[in-house]
Amino acid sequence: MRAWKICSVIIVSLCTYVQSASILALFSSLSFSDHLVFRGYVSLLAQRGHSVVVMTPYPGQFPPQEMERIVELNVGAESGPFWDEYKKLMTDTDDYYNRLKDINEFTLKLAIAQLKSKAMSSLFINPNVKFELVITEADVPLLYAIAEKYDAPHVSITTSIGKVHQYESKGTPIHPLLYPDANVLTYRNLTGWQKIVEFYRHYQTRNEYYYNHLPLSEIAAKKMFGLKRPLIEVEYDIDILLIAANPTLIGNRPTVPAISFVDRLHIKPGFPLQQGLKEILDSATKGVVYFSIGALQEPEHLSTNILQTLTDAFRELPFVVLWKIGNTTMINRPDNVISNFWFPQQEILAHPNVKAFITHGGARSLEEALFYEVPIIGLPIVRSHKVFIAEITRHGAGEILDIHSLEKDTVKKVISDVANNENYKKAMIILKSKVVTPMISGPENALWWTEYVLRNGGAKYLRSPAVGLTFIKYYMLDIAAIILSICTVLLVAIYLIIRIIYRRLRQRFIAKFEKDGKFKEL
């Protein structure tokens, strides 16, 4: 039996083996947390023996042993001038939907500048360079045209929960109420008005992409790369779409094999804490509460009243509070609060004395809290984040605070409850055991599906036959119109026949009585 198992493993390994491939990966985003995901993906490919050429605005982050197989095309200099505009777009708002058009147009401008860089231009003009696979950032449709340029199989990856057009491009059903979008405001148990709002936002989000962002990207693609066909067809032909999220925590939806969920690509357990920080956490016998609102959103942007409320609540807690905040002069820091502009978040969450994680609800933070089994206290600044925080807290693994109605006593009570009540910790452990598995999602899937595409020279056959169908054809409204027309003709014909029969009978009836003279008196 043991020998049979060993033989089976060898056979499977031989069947799934892929020789070292030449891969081009294009990542445009200025979000540092997005690049944590992208680097995790590229690292897996390099460790597998593939040679990867990477366009990135954040070079120099791979370990030396992986750099032997990775060539970084640095577009940092071209990206730098866009940083202030990017930060302005992504901060000081509680709803990205209102800035959707500006964000999309900014994304296109940034990508054009990066692709015109000296490093990228040198690559594109070299006729001897060939790639066996092109990987693109799915949120930047201009990059799709490069897969067309090299006539190579195409894998695309998004760090979001997946956008409407991305699901549609693979033929996956979409629905404004059942399957939440990245900018959804409410989900589950909606009122009538909330349903109307979500339907309107869903409709406008689709329109913005299909009638503004995609056409502009197509114009740029034709000018820069001589694209010969519509960009939407290139999007349809993406072989595999990788979504860096867990489907059970973003609203379960039916998907086709052409979509794979690949969360936890950025998670790297096992790194040691800095000695000074380790000593602080080790000595915190009553527990530690970690507070961060992400890499881009900064506590300094919160109102003075909110900062004061949080400070007053922290002061009365028995826990050590690690607060990620750059400008500490804005708060009257209590003795039990340790503040810094940056903390090694994963290493902190992995420490056994950390009892709770106060988070804004970013995708990477939620993944880390789940992986390291730390109960969460959601403090969503962007309203759409509340929906995805709630997908965890509904399992009993945390609570949510309303940033618009914070009170010291409420904050203090919620933190104390989550940190002291073991039920929250147990609920997070149970949730992790349910959803953190390669059968549902995980970094293993990213590598497996990428090599599947390499082995088979593409995977367009995995998409749904619904791809590219119009609204009329998808819902068979043309067939319904034909059936309705036939029914209408039949009803009209039946009506005319009945009318003719009625008139004939009426004429005979009247003629008969007139002949008999029964009504002559009248």
Same domain? 217 vs 282: no
Same domain? 251 vs 341: no
Same domain? 493 vs 465: no
Same domain? 233 vs 298: no
- Host domain of residue 489: 470-502
Same domain? 307 vs 256: no
Same domain? 333 vs 458: no
pLDDT-based confidence at residue 98 (cuts at 50, 70, 90): confident
Same domain? 322 vs 200: no
Average pLDDT, the chain: 91
Q: What is the pLDDT of residue 94?
A: 81
User: Residue 97 pLDDT > 60, yes or no?
Assistant: yes
Digit-coded pLDDT (tens) for 411-438: 999 999 999 999 999 999 999 999 999 9
- Residue 73 domain-assigned (yes or no): yes
Same domain? 94 vs 234: yes
Same domain? 307 vs 188: no
Q: At what angle do helices 304-315 and 408-420 cross, to 10 degrees?
A: 50
- Residue 87 domain-assigned (yes or no): yes
- Residue 3 domain-assigned (yes or no): no
Digit-coded pLDDT (tens) for 155-204: 999 999 999 999 999 999 999 999 998 889 999 999 999 999 999 999 99
- Residue 399 domain-assigned (yes or no): yes
pLDDT-based confidence at residue 326 (cuts at 50, 70, 90): confident
HEC readout, 194-246: HHHHHHHHHHHHHHHHHHHHHHHHHHHHHHHHCCCCCHHHHHHCCCEEEECCC
- Residue 404 domain-assigned (yes or no): yes
Burial of 37 (0-12, 13-18, 19+ CB in 10 A): buried
Count of domains observed in the chain: 3
Please state, in angstroms and rounded to a whole number, the distance separating the CA atoms of residues 212 and 207. Answer: 7
pLDDT-based confidence at residue 516 (cuts at 50, 70, 90): low
CATH of the domain at 340: 3.40.50.2000
Digit-coded pLDDT (tens) for 105-118: 999 999 999 999 99
Digit-coded pLDDT (tens) for 336-384: 999 998 999 999 999 999 999 999 999 999 999 999 999 999 999 999 9
Same domain? 487 vs 360: no
User: Residue 4 pLDDT > 90, yes or no?
Assistant: no
Same domain? 246 vs 288: no
Same domain? 165 vs 296: no
- Residue 4 domain-assigned (yes or no): no
* pLDDT, mean of residues 239-249: 96
Burial pattern 300-321, b for ≥16 Cβ within 10 A else e, equals eebeeebbbbbbbbbbebebbb
